[in-house]
Structure 1
Amino acid sequence: MGPVGAVVFPPQEFFTDQLWSTLPRSWQEALDGLNPPQLAALLLGMPAEGDVVRYRSVWPLTLLALKSTASALAFTRTPGFQTPSEFLENPSQSSRLTAPFRKHVRPKKQHEIRRLGELVKKLSDLTGCTQVVDVGSGQGHLSRFMSLGLGLKVKSIEGDRRLVERARRLDRELLHALEKEQRRKPQVAPTGPRRSPQHVVRWVEPAALCDELLLPLEHSPRGGARLLLTGLHACGDLSVTLLRHFCCCPEVVALASVGCCYMKLSDPGGYPLSQWVAALPGCELSYRLREGACHALEEYAERLQRAGPGLRTHCYRAALETVIRRAQPTLRRPGVQGIPRVHELKIEEYVQRGLQRVGLDPQLPLNLAALRAQQAQENRVVAFFSLALLLAPLVETLILLDRLLHLQEQGFHAELLPIFSPELSPRNLALVATKRPLGQAFSVLETEDG
């Protein structure tokens, strides 16, 4: 696979596997010594001014070709609306949601539930759905907005009983707040009927159809239920399971799914899904590439522009990996819970805390000279990670286009729509599908409501 195959996410093995030396010498010379703002502008394409955008030397054609190809082939992630306009007045409160719907909800989630909820409402109206099923609903923020804010009939399915119990408490709290607001402002008509979502505790298995998912909340006088399935960042196989229900079940007439955690897809079974991609030689995507597709290029590019000391974490974590493997060779890439204020720590202090986090003796003797030498390569580690992130949108495009082709091969109508601001929500592409043509109506789905 050439030099691209050497790129891994994240570069925890930068020192243990000598990853810098796996790059072509010409790439090393082009990237070596670039500071973070230069990497953001020259490699990741962020706007910049002055000396930042000047190349110190002619870059090798192979590196320029990779940069151009990754950008050209990746699906556009820029939504067709100004973002994040809803947070101009207050960065923590969406101006497009009323106060009761913002409570207990972080700005990122406020943006997500509003955008996906409004898309689902339009799609429901266009397809004549009688019920929305929110799968993997968590604490029910999306379900609450769709039901109590937009007037949809919603069933939410979540496997974690604790999350469902909290969702029901938040339902009651929101209903009380809306009723209180209505008494205070009786001239303001409610946006929809006061119908809470129906919460169901149920694990949806990847390999089997879920009867509960297909049961209607109530019988329609016009005949059988017409269901719309949705999932906000449905993790791993769950997003594939939604596709399977859409394809196999006549009751399901529409789908609006935003996937996440591609590294958790079953192999085989989760990718590839389409016959076309499956027939391509070398179509497999390694765990590390799928993991990389979940990283946030736009957010990281902004961090590079700011050149904050927090970028040091990559180098420190890679140095910690060398100490871990020397102490216990069979322990590789263990999860290290976030160590606060990394930029204020000396590298040996970080390593000691990291050893404790992974269950090793924090008082192990350390080679301070080796750690200092590794710290001196901080910019190389950041450059390598930036190179890896260049591929993240392209890998995500491969996964999502495979799903799109899978639906189209079966005669369904589907599109990928960037519905979230990628700066707020990196997994921002919604797979929208229907069983009858919508034509130009698809373009209405991603527009902003007035």
Structure 2
Amino acid sequence: KFSCKTASETLRWISAILQFLESYRFFLDAHLVNFFKDRLWEKVDVEWMDCLRNESVESLLRIPSGVVQDHWPASLKQYVLTLDSLSLPRDQTDLQEAFQGLKIEPLNTVVSQGMNRKKKHEIETLSAVVSSVAGRVGAKTIVDVGSGQGYLAQVLAFEHGLSVVAIDASPHHGSVTAARSLRIEKHYAARKNKLGLTNKSFVSPKTVTCRVQSPSMLKDVLNCTIPTGSVGNSVMVPRDEAEPLLHDSASALRTNAGSSFLLAGLHACGDLSVTMLRTFVECEDVKALVSIGCCYNLLSEEDDDGHRGFPVSRGAKPLCSVLGKNARDLACQSAERWKCLEEGDGFHNFELHAFRAAFQMLLFRYYPETLDGRSLPSVGRQGKTLRRRQHQRGSSHLASKESSEEPSFLAKRYSGFVEFSKSGLRKLGLPESSSHIEYSRIIWHEAEIYFELIGPYWTLRAALGPVLETALMLDRVLYLQEQQEGSLLIEEVELVSVFHPFLSPRNLALIASK
């Protein structure tokens, strides 16, 4: 049983994960598009593949969630169960128990306009958590880092009555946030007047358009407010001039003397979440941090400037070799969503991966000029659209595993691959030729006999996703715990599963306070 209550316990957990992963480097370094071309299944235990090739789609999809079958080889069961034991739990925490006095209120239709079910669940929950933590530490201003269209910032401002600054790199997001805030403010002002709520106050979030590339840059933003007379409560800092402009703008900006901040990030991408951690450590005025990471594939692992995104803790650095982009991509896999897929949808997922891998082999053999140094030309999104269209037409219906081997089904699968490859070649700018059908036939004839192996391989590899994310999150926890052991007065560091994992798989919030 692992724990991350202390730095030594967290380091022991990280060490166990990294030691386990070393034996499965072939999974971490692989990319599924090369499944047929590089015969990736041959690197997996033959006994495992022989067993799983006959398993139902449902059983395969439950592997990333740690579910095993009694008749499996002992080594396979050990692999799946060990991964499960090394992973952080994802079931939603009892937030009422974790945060005293927490109130999660349903959002009204005005402030929730434009939110889908997932986003509404995230904003309702996280805004309540942020408000609770801010109240506990006495933070006067919430800084929403990587604010996107400002959903979190607006709910914190209008529903929780907090002072909020929303920072995002996109000028479009900044203008959308400002315009949306203005509409919401008018509604709340009208409602306030109608109900005579003279004692209830709210202020629109201030928006800052700036690409935050370092803790010093974020600290400069924190030390400044919006210039007097700025339009729409927003300011833009040009990307190329961001750091010098922020350093030299003291005379133009009003300083936030005596301010206290809480840094909040809802799925702040890549290194941005790590920059938030460093800013929390380096900036005395930042009293709390609530960070939910995302886009691990965008994390940097190079150490050119000393600000890499992984590993960030001193303890993990000597233990780690480079994970690589493929492994960081894998950390984004959602075991909860795969477990809940219906059999037909799961099969379509495997089929799509098979089509893309066969198409890669077709490009490698007959159209090598399309690779041109790019091992992975992008055609996947178009492939998903094609498969969704076929699914809606019912042209690839899966009634059972047995039906997938019927001649009529095999013919439809071949036709599906031909259509997929035509679509992919068009996206790569290649005109259709009379030889294309023949190329597709040859490739599919070679690939199809291994089709039943792609599901087992994919799920065995996907099972590494939760433990990879665990390693990334524990590294961040350890970084803060190391500061705790020094002179920095960090009172609390914890990981909390704040969202329902099916609605929002990236649900681990790193919460710290001084």
Aligned counterpart for 2:271 among listed residues 237, 241, 244: 237
Give yes or no for contact 1:171–1:196 (8 Å, CA) kept in 2.
yes
Partner of 1:279: 318
CA distance in 1, matches of 2:198, 2:338: 41
Partner of 1:15: 36
The 5 Å alignment of 1:290-369 reads 290-303=328-341, 305=343, 307-308=345-346, 310-311=348-349, 312-326=351-365, 327-328=367-368, 329=371, 330-336=373-379, 337-339=381-383, 340-342=385-387, 344=390, 346-363=416-433, 365=436, 366-369=439-442
Using a 3 Å threshold, how does the CA distance of structure 1 residues 387 and 362 change in structure 2: closer, same or farther? farther
CA distance in 2, matches of 1:355, 1:341: 13
The 5 Å alignment of 1:83-232 reads 96-181=106-191, 186=195, 193-206=201-214, 208-215=216-223, 217=225, 224-232=258-266
Shift of 1:284: 3.2
> Over residues 365-423 of structure 1, what are the superposed CA-to-partner deviations in whole Å (9 max), with x where a residue is unaligned?
32404314424544321221111111101000101101100101011331111101111
Q: Mind listing any 5+ residue stretches in structure 2 that lack a counterpart?
A: 1-20, 96-103, 227-252, 303-307, 391-414, 485-489
Give yes or no for contact 2:361–2:443 (8 Å, CA) kept in 1.
no
Shift of 1:301: 2.1
> Over residues 50-95 of structure 1, what are the superposed CA-to-partner deviations in whole Å (9 max), with x where a residue is unaligned?
xxx865xx4233221111111011111111249xxxxxxxxxxx98
CA distance in 2, matches of 1:65, 1:362: 49
Partner of 1:387: 460
Give yes or no for contact 2:143–2:167 (8 Å, CA) kept in 1.
yes
Using a 3 Å threshold, how does the CA distance of structure 1 residues 137 and 307 change in structure 2: closer, same or farther? closer
CA distance in 2, matches of 1:314, 1:159: 33
Using a 3 Å threshold, how does the CA distance of structure 1 residues 362 and 293 change in structure 2: closer, same or farther? farther
Partner of 1:446: none
SS of 1:7's equivalent? helix
Q: Does 1:429 align with 2:492?
A: no
Q: Does 1:374 align with 2:447?
A: yes
Amino acid at match of 2:56: N
Give yes or no for contact 2:297–2:326 (8 Å, CA) kept in 1.
yes
Partner of 1:5: 25
- Structure 1 residues 400-409 or 163-172, which shifts more? 163-172
Using a 3 Å threshold, how does the CA distance of structure 1 residues 95 and 257 change in structure 2: closer, same or farther? closer
Q: Does 1:40 align with 2:110?
A: no
Shift of 1:163: 1.1
Partner of 1:77: 90
Amino acid at match of 1:321: Q
> Over residues 353-372 of structure 1, what are the superposed CA-to-partner deviations in whole Å (9 max), with x where a residue is unaligned?
01222334443632404314
CA distance in 2, matches of 1:60, 1:203: 51
CA distance in 2, matches of 1:226, 1:374: 60
Partner of 1:289: 327
Using a 3 Å threshold, how does the CA distance of structure 1 residues 134 and 369 change in structure 2: closer, same or farther? same
CA distance in 2, matches of 1:180, 1:342: 48
SS of 2:158's equivalent? helix
Q: Does 1:25 align with 2:46?
A: yes
Aligned counterpart for 1:400 among listed residues 473, 476, 483: 473
CA distance in 1, matches of 2:214, 2:431: 40
Partner of 2:393: none
Amino acid at match of 1:424: L
Give yes or no for contact 1:316–1:375 (8 Å, CA) kept in 2.
no
Shift of 1:259: 0.7
Partner of 1:254: 288
SS of 1:154's equivalent? strand
Using a 3 Å threshold, how does the CA distance of structure 1 residues 374 and 302 change in structure 2: closer, same or farther? farther
Amino acid at match of 2:495: L
SS of 1:355's equivalent? helix
Partner of 2:80: 67
Using a 3 Å threshold, how does the CA distance of structure 1 residues 74 and 54 change in structure 2: closer, same or farther? closer
CA-based RMSD: 2.7
> Over residues 20-71 of structure 1, what are the superposed CA-to-partner deviations in whole Å (9 max), with x where a residue is unaligned?
111111111121122211213456346xxxxxx865xx42332211111110
Using a 3 Å threshold, how does the CA distance of structure 1 residues 207 and 434 change in structure 2: closer, same or farther? closer
Q: Looking at CA atoms only, which structure, 1 or 2, has the larger radius of gyration?
A: 2
CA distance in 2, matches of 1:387, 1:406: 30
What's the TM-score, normalizing by structure 2? Answer: 0.74
CA distance in 2, matches of 1:43, 1:140: 34
SS of 1:316's equivalent? helix
Partner of 2:410: none
Give yes or no for contact 2:263–2:280 (8 Å, CA) kept in 1.
yes
Q: Mind listing any 5+ residue stretches in structure 1 that lack a counterpart?
A: 47-52, 83-93, 436-450
CA distance in 2, matches of 1:362, 1:149: 56
SS of 1:346's equivalent? helix
> Over residues 167-204 of structure 1, what are the superposed CA-to-partner deviations in whole Å (9 max), with x where a residue is unaligned?
111112222333455567x38x6995231100011111
